[in-house]
Amino acid sequence: MMNVEDMEWYREERAKDTPGRSLRFYRRLKGMTQPELAAVLGTTKQFISNLENDRKPISRMMAKKLSEIFDVPASRFI
């Protein structure tokens, strides 16, 4: 048997995993739109879009807020 972490396809997919992609995944999993998440966070849809597309980094404070909303570790967004 081979360890999945040693497989090329896994390494390629893992490299694509960014904080923004994680945010989009959890937002969609919870059934929220960008405007809905923005309202909960007190920000704009454009800001959420920028985070999801990795145009802006997710701060530690924002990661903590997101972790509380989505009930996952903050490290998923950093």
19-60 tens-digit pLDDT: 999 999 999 999 999 999 999 999 999 999 999 999 999 999
With H, G, I as helix, E, B as strand and everything else as coil, classify residue 66.
helix
Q: What is the mean pLDDT of residues 15-22?
A: 87
In CATH, what class is 4-77? mainly alpha
Q: Where are the domains of the chain?
A: 4-77
Which bin fits 71, alpha (ψ -120 to 50), beta or left (φ > 0)? left
Helix (H) or strand (E) segment spanning residue 69: helix 60-70
pTM of structure:
0.80
Q: What is the pLDDT of residue 13?
A: 77
